[in-house]
Amino acid sequence: ETGVTQTPRHLVMGMTNKKSLKCEQHLGHNAMYWYKQSAKKPLELMFVYSLEERVENNSVPSRFSPECPNSSHLFLHLHTLQPEDSALYLCASSQEDAGESVLTFGAGSRLTVL
Amino acid sequence: DAKTTQPNSMESNEEEPVHLPCNHSTISGTDYIHWYRQLPSQGPEYVIHGLTSNVNNRMASLAIAEDRKSSTLILHRATLRDAAVYYCILTWYNQGGKLIFGQGTELSVKP
């Protein structure tokens, strides 16, 4: 496996379900990110982890709960979501470096909330 | 945050050069100019970045105006696989990898 891998690629869940999105990076990077891409809207930064510590939470509702157990893995735990949370969730990683960091994105997990 | 302005869409013919413009009139001296693109049904991918000088890599060239208030991404010979949304993004010192995406330019390539 190379790059950034996201599973599952597609997920359908009801509003009362609990599910998790998984991201794994094989690049030796020290920072990981969750982005959300809703239809016809720009990508929105949700969470940033640097050296396994959460350094940013962009006013994301508590029904989204990130977890970064080590520098290679990032999870997004989902519970009691709303239909408007349906979107493409993208994970990315980078080797943190001021200004010049290049992000490598996964292919995304397409989430549909019924 | 310094913002960028890009046209919503552009069209190109296959095998012709494409010049994608980006305005960033409020850029500061330490802001880097990054370009990413997002092909249909995929995550964004890095294309190129620069600070002051023009840059070339295997994917594209980046031409930066002398006053740095604008830049142009150049695809030397467009292919159908270059059809994507192209994002011009500024990153600043101490920001690390936190990219703030705009709407980007949707490039269509005609055979």
pLDDT at A97: 66
Whether residue A64 contacts residue A15, with contact meaning beta carbons closer than 8 Å, is answered with no
B11-67 pLDDT, tens digit each: 999 999 999 999 999 898 888 999 999 998 899 999 999 999 999 999 999 999 999
pLDDT at B101: 87
State whether residue A108 sits within 8 Å of chain B by CB: yes
Check residue A47 and give left, alpha or beta (phi > 0: left; psi -120 to 50: alpha): beta
The arithmetic mean of pLDDT across residues A19-25, rounded, is: 97
pLDDT at A105: 96
Range picked from A50-64, B76-90, B95-109 for highest mean pLDDT: B76-90
Question: Alpha-carbon distance A114 to A100, whole Å?
Answer: 40
Q: Is the pLDDT higher at B72 or at A98?
A: B72
Interface touch B49/A104, C-beta < 8 Å: no
**Which of B57, B98, B103 to mutate to probe the A interface, most A CBs <10 Å?**
B98
Three-point CA angle B11, B14, B19, nearest 5°: 50
Whether residue B96 contacts residue A50, with contact meaning beta carbons closer than 8 Å, is answered with yes
What lies within 8 Å, CB to CB, of A4 at 6+ separation is: A23, A24, A25, A26, A27, A91, A92, A93, A104, A105, A106, B43
Helix (H, G, I), strand (E, B) or coil at A84: helix
The arithmetic mean of pLDDT across residues B85-104, rounded, is: 82
CA distances in angstroms from B48 to A71, B6, B37, B110, listed in the order given: 25, 16, 10, 24
B contacts of A49 (beta carbons < 8 Å): none
Interface touch A98/B99, C-beta < 8 Å: no
pLDDT at A89: 98
A44-96 pLDDT, tens digit each: 999 999 877 777 777 899 999 999 999 999 999 999 999 999 999 999 999 87
